[in-house]
Amino acid sequence: MTVDQPKYKTSEEVDFIIVGSGAAGGILAKQLSTNGFRVVVLEQGPYLTEADFTHNEIEILAEDKLTNHPKLQPNTFRKTPQEKAKPQRALVYGRCVGGTSVHFTANFWRFHEIDFIERSKVGPIPGTTFADWPITYADLEPYYTKVEWEIGVSGLGGASPFDPPRSKPYPMPPLPVKASGVLFERAARKMGWHPFPAPMAILSQPRPGRSACINCGFCLGFGCEVGAKSSSLATAIRMAEKTGRCEIRPNSYVHRIEADANGRAVGATYFDEKRNTHLQKAKAVVVCANGAETPRLLLLSANKQFPDGLANSSGYVGKNLMLNSGGNVYAQFEHPLNDYKGFAVSRIMHDFYELDHEKVGFYGGGGLDARFDFTPISFAFGGLPPDTPRWGKEFKSALAQNFNRTLEIFCHGTSLPIEDNSFSLDPELKDAWGLPALRMTYKDHPDDLKLANWMFARAHELLEAAGARKHWGFPAQEAQFAVHLLGTCRMGNDPKTSVINADHRTHDVKNLFLCDGSSLVTSGRGQPTMTIEALAFRAADRITALAKRGEISA
């Protein structure tokens, strides 16, 4: 797969360096190389392919084969800036070619119109930096459609009365319904709600070189060995390589963006696998390293001109972190669901996407889905009700009875942006390369917790209507672990309150662009990847137009 790749010299000034090969980086690599540019993608993780993916739960869970490694990349956590952060694993992200899109669940919701303009509609919320986007749903709609068709998303347009307008149907029908989906659909209808087939970035029909989903059951957390999951690895990266202008350089850990005296990015310094240092030169740099590592890289790249971090004149680099509120409610049923077969989610609903905050008493909104995303060991540790004996005869019979009879309702929701919630550099802890480790500071806005509990109550109502034999959950707790990494280099028109403009160009450095979860201004309702990819397609168009007009080069 690498035979057609060019091998650029580090001294050769390529057109673009892209840092990170995940959801956004993969698409920017594909689009920019297709548009004729010479591109080097620097990915900190290894280049694994389908042949490397297994169903080995220990390898995935314990060895972090596909994800950031807590021993090599430790981090710290604290709730507020007044506390000293303690070492504690606080985040997970994909660390391999394809990034988090390799192991994600592949829920692919579009954002709705409201997500871009909600601040104007709702008004200010004290203690937050809640803001409108500088772009609207209409600006992004063509790019959502591009994602669906080029990357491969299965779904049913028009099935949800709450869906935003779309210019084209999905390119392929939804995946088959699971037992959890049927129970969810029937119960939701009984409640007067509007369930619909989940849009998923998983193929329901084969595409060239890729199989349709074979329902193996090892989905969330695992890489897809048949290429059915529409990761950047299985899609955009392969297309980028075919252009002959894009080099994917794995095991390349970028730790500094170099800038010249004129405040222009000139390249990126990285460690190779043997920890030798290289400087790749480029006319422009696009950072797609995720909502934690993108701000960290800018902070690590502080220089004389930008002592608080490259492109950080706003002070907003790393700030306004949003994680998406929510959690699970669990249920057991009388008959076998066998929901361990297949992808995770087949039915969702958006009736609560936009709640009347005066009526419910808090800001927020979200979606519910029916899923089963346990694997055997994780189920034994977390899938049984808390009153189940933890060992012995009854434990064993509970496992035997319920592994096949359990489903989860996942409640996804909004997070409000708060300036103190952030990723920053820990002043003491270092990673295995001797660089400052990530420090996460996070305390949920009270409305986010109220929303989560409100959604849990709806999930219990639904499970009651579904005839569950037993259902249980836990009250929302303040988050201390991040999966969705959003908002930390937000987009905006005002350089004082945002890091990038609507073209994804940093306000401060003309030839530095950022595109990933960090670009988001609001959190959406829980599934950000589709929007990150649509933004990447759009960013590629904007960047190409700027380059063709000669507005990037000095």
Q: Which of residues 54-83 bind another protein (CB under 8 A)?
A: 54-64, 70
CA 246/CA 42 separation, integer angstroms: 11
From 288, 348, 291, select the one nearest 317 (Cα to Cα): 291
Report, in Å, the least distance between residue 34 CB and another protein.
Answer: 31
218 binds another protein (CB under 8 A): yes
Tokens encoding 458? 């709806």
Q: Which stretch, 43-51, 53-61, 264-272, 273-281, contacts another protein (CB under 8 A)?
A: 53-61
Binding mask 275-314 for another protein (x = CB under 8 A): ----------------------------------------
Q: Binding of another protein at residue 37 (CB under 8 A)?
A: no
> Shortest approach of another protein to residue 488 CB, angstroms?
19
Q: By the 8 A CB rule, do 252 and 42 touch?
A: yes
Strands 436-441 and 422-430: antiparallel
Q: Which is closer to another protein, CB of 300 or CB of 370?
A: 370
The distance of closest approach from Cβ of residue 345 to another protein in the complex, given in angstroms and rounded to an integer, is: 12
Q: Is 397 helix (H, G, I), strand (E, B) or coil?
A: helix
Q: Is 360 one of the binding residues for another protein (CB under 8 A)?
A: no
472 binds another protein (CB under 8 A): no
Closest distance to another protein from the beta carbon of 273 (Å): 17
Residue 296 contacts residue 318 (beta carbons within 8 Å): yes
Pick between residue 404 and residue 453 the one whose CB is nearest to another protein: 404
Q: Which is nearer to another protein, 149 or 379 (CB)?
A: 379
| Residue 217 interacts with another protein (CB under 8 A): yes or no | yes
Closest C-alpha to 95, from 164, 48, 163: 48
Q: How far is the CB of 549 from another protein (least distance, A)?
A: 42
| Residue 474 near residue 327 (C-beta atoms within 8 A) | yes
Nearest to another protein of 452, 546 (CB atom): 452
Which runs of E-coded beta strand occur in 376-498? Answer: 406-413, 422-430, 436-441, 470-473
* Gap between the Cα atoms of 196 and 475, Å rounded: 27
Q: Using the rule CB under 8 A, is 10 a contact of another protein? A: no
Identify which of residues 126 and 392 has a Cβ nearer to another protein in the complex: 392
* Nearest to 285, CA basis, from 6, 10, 14: 14
**Sole binder of another protein in the list 5, 79, 87, 89 (CB under 8 A):** 89
Kindly state whether residue 92 participates in binding another protein, applying the rule CB under 8 A: yes
Q: Which of residues 497-526 bind another protein (CB under 8 A)?
A: none
Residue 289 Cβ vs another protein, minimum distance, rounded to whole Å? 20
Report CA dihedral (515, 516, 521, 527) to the nearest 10 degrees.
Answer: 150
Q: Would you tell me how many other CB atoms lie within 10 Å of the CB of residue 32?
A: 27
Nearest to 15 by CA among 38, 48, 35: 38
Options 126, 192, 208, 550; binder of another protein; rule CB under 8 A: 192
Among 72, 377, 545, 554, binds another protein (CB under 8 A): 377
Q: How far is the CB of 328 from another protein (least distance, A)?
A: 6
Contact region for another protein (CB under 8 A) — 109-117, 238-246, 479-487, 527-535? 479-487
Please say whether the beta carbons of 127 and 133 come within 8 A: no
Which 390-449 positions form the footprint of another protein (CB under 8 A)?
390-393, 395-396, 399-400, 403-404, 408
Residue 517, judged by CB atoms within 10 A of its CB (0-12, 13-18, 19+), counts as buried
Question: Closest distance between another protein and the C-beta of residue 294, in Å?
Answer: 21
Closest listed residue to residue 187, CA positions, set 437, 387, 444, 460: 460
* Least Cβ distance, residue 431 to another protein (angstroms): 17
Would you count residue 165 as binding another protein (CB under 8 A)? no
Write out the H or E segment, with its range, that includes residue 190.
Answer: helix 179-190
Contact with another protein (CB under 8 A) among 327, 364, 417, 517: 327
The gap from C-alpha 8 to its chain's centroid, in whole angstroms, comes to 30
| 86 near another protein (CB under 8 A) | no
Backbone Cα Rg of the chain: 22
Q: Give the one residue of 340, 352, 353, 363 binding another protein; rule: CB under 8 A.
A: 340
Which residue lies nearer to another protein by CB, 223 or 318? Answer: 223
Query: Which DSSP helix (H) or strand (E) runs through 367?
Result: strand 366-371
Give 158 or 446: the residue with its C-beta nearer to another protein: 158
Q: Cβ(39)–Cβ(288) under 8 Å?
A: no
Decide if residue 380 touches another protein (CB under 8 A).
Answer: yes
How far is 11 from 279, CA to CA, in rounded Å? Answer: 8
Distance in Å, CB of 336 to another protein, minimum: 5
Nearer residue to another protein within complex by CB, 38 or 65: 65
Q: Which residues contact 548 (CB under 8 A, 6 or more apart)?
A: none
- Give, as one character, the DSSP assignment of residue 30: H
- Phi and psi angles of residue 544, each rounded to the nearest 5 degrees, phi first: -60, -45
Instruction: List the one residue from 22, 26, 221, 366 that touches another protein (CB under 8 A).
Output: 221
- At what angle are helices 23-34 and 529-548 packed, to 10 degrees? 30
Q: Is residue 48 a contact point for another protein (CB under 8 A)? A: no
Decide: 32 and 247 in contact? Cβ < 8 Å. no
Q: Considering the complex, what minimum distance in angstroms separates the CB of residue 243 from another protein?
A: 32
How many residues belong to the site for another protein (CB under 8 A)? 84
Does 219 help bind another protein (rule: CB under 8 A)? yes
| Rounded distance between C-alpha atoms, residue 26 and residue 250, angstroms | 13
Q: Which is nearer to another protein, 248 or 468 (CB)?
A: 468
- Report whether 201 contacts 229 (CB < 8 A): yes
- Kindly state whether residue 202 participates in binding another protein, applying the rule CB under 8 A: no
